[in-house]
């Protein structure tokens, strides 16, 4: 069985100045919503992962409005929410147990950010034995300053992160292709 994992699609991740100076894929949240809608129609399992930062300055700290889900992907009452406070959705949570107890072996993963929580959760999901499909345009990255002090743009960070995950940890596809496969 296949489940959809929506990771950290929260309002706080709109606060650009906390995370970088630019972001890739402005349509990531809209694409996540399209995929979520199909999983809802099909009544397939959905898990919303919510980052609850332990850093009081973080827009994702539970005391902040930014901790709330992005309006496009707000969980319905019957949809489980997995709260985490590290990058991996599998550390400090019962996500692995929940997935395995429901015989879920395939995961479609979307959310934020490509280079931090998505990369970490995809890597760990794959190493735990799940077959992962990552949706390239339903995730997004922020730019970074490299160890040499030079800036690496959001698109380079996004593309390099996906290239590292591709084949080794996940099949990488895009929203249009996924939706075509799911609806066919």
- Contacts with a copy of itself by CB under 8 A lie at 86-88, 91, 115-116, 119-120, 123-124, 126-128, 136, 144-148, 150, 152, 156-157, 159-164, 166, 168-169, 172
Measured from the CB atom, the residue of 46 and 51 that comes closer to a copy of itself is 51
Cis ω before 172 (30° cut-off from 0): no
In the complex with a copy of itself, the residue whose CB is nearer, 23 or 46, is 23
Cα–Cα separations (whole angstroms), residue 132 to 48, 87, 108, 162, 174: 16, 17, 6, 13, 13
Strands (E) in 43-149, as ranges, are 46-51, 81-84, 106-112, 131-140, 144-145
Minimum CB distance to a copy of itself smaller for 70 or for 123: 123
Q: 15 or 168: whose CB is closer to a copy of itself?
A: 168
Distance of closest approach, residue 161 Cβ to a copy of itself, in angstroms:
7
């Amino acid at each position: 069985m296949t489940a959809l994992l929506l990771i950290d699609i929260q309002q706080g991740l709109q606060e650009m100045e906390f995370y970088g100076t630019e972001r890739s894929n402005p349509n990531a949240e809209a694409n996540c919503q399209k995929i979520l809608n199909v999983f809802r129609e099909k009544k397939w399992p959905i898990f919303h992962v919510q980052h609850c930062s332990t850093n009081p300055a973080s827009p994702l700290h539970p005391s902040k409005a930014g901790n709330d889900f992005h309006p496009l992907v707000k969980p319905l009452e019957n949809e489980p929410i997995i709260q985490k406070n590290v990058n991996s959705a599998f550390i400090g949570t019962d996500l692995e147990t929940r997935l395995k107890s429901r015989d879920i072996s395939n995961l479609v993963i979307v959310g934020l950010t490509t280079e931090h929580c998505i990369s970490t959760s995809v890597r760990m999901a794959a190493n735990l034995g799940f077959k992962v499909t990552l949706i390239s345009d339903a995730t997004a990255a922020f730019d970074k300053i490299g160890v040499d002090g030079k800036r690496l743009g959001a698109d380079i960070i996004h593309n390099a992160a996906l290239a590292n995950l591709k084949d080794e940890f996940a099949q990488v596809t895009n929203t249009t292709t996924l939706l075509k496969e799911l609806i066919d």
